[in-house]
Structure 1
């Protein structure tokens, strides 16, 4: 519904504080995403701003009277979803961001292999999404490993697996990743994300090589999550997903346009 001039003027006044905070959030996102080795504390704090802007929908309150319809340019994971539907992928982590000074695209694990490798889809493919679609976009998948045969192939009749969305990740880190709150995961999705954060990690070797480690059984053995020992230098996939989300928000054309409008509004 198109806003009247009176309502638009009122909303501009009502959201000035939110708009000012939004400029600070974008600056923080870009600073953290540009670091060669961002700390986990910095990334966790990103979840607080993402929850406020996206989950609490403040971004729409800010953009509505200024630029109207707002879209987010996100990675297009459709090729990965298709592979999962055809039972070709056992583990999927969908994000595109920079960590340790290098760009990392979506990561996948194929049945019969302990090697985590870059996805076989188009790492540069993007799609413009409304906020609701951005939040519900599926970013993690793990197949039911009880349905993987001893030779490492997924059984033809296998259909089950566990998914988590971008919104699930933002809320998980905010509530259970020691960002805004600290608690013990109880829901199926939060336990699933906790398992991922403890058994998959991105790290850097002494020679600078990026290491992606997966510490759960995928072939010929009983299914079990096996948490890694603590590592001060590593980043787990849920935190990496936050980097990817912060990066796409800060680089989306509509968000850059909104930033410019607000800067002009404040005379910056």
Structure 2
């Protein structure tokens, strides 16, 4: 809703804020430049992976990081990338993985979402559902056009988290095809819900998925198809992946630990 530091300054002045916490070093952080209140930053992923290549964004993010009391990276690798660009800020960058807690709705009917869909011509049992909000109008229109020409692929509207989790539990697998990720909550949620994950082999995904142990990593569409078929035809591998992934999430992505870490960081702003 806010597009300039001035708007944020007016908000924090009017509402008497004591401190602020921003997500994404550029998108959120730039709005807190010159802020009268102390603030912390959580790296989003695309800021360190993509925006860092733009000279102007790099300059702004460096300035924001200089003003921030602390910054949070989801992985050690992400911290290292940021520290390499802004060495002076390395001591204020903490590593805290995302915590996960899933509570799927008890009722969910796929036919309510897919009843008007064009079923897959080759194999009626295989479908790909794409779920999420339309953020980029141009890209959304391109996706809609491609989906219309692709039987078995369904573009679904965003839905409440508990409903989405219920939908995920009725799927054979969750797919992450992002070309850039910080730490995908969708992957961690799938692991917690006992759903196998197929994800593009990029640093953010590889940081939380060990290939053929806690999930499957693919580098191109062809490999995605091969791995998907192998997963569908090997129930023992599927069960082992799901079990190890669940154990991994419980051990490394506790929402209670995440809550305590952020409480302590926010208290340091006072």
User: What is the TM-score of this pair, normalised by structure 2?
Assistant: 0.27
**Larger helix percent:** 2
User: What is the TM-score of this pair, normalised by structure 1?
Assistant: 0.27
**Larger strand percent:** 1
Q: Which has the larger radius of gyration?
A: 2
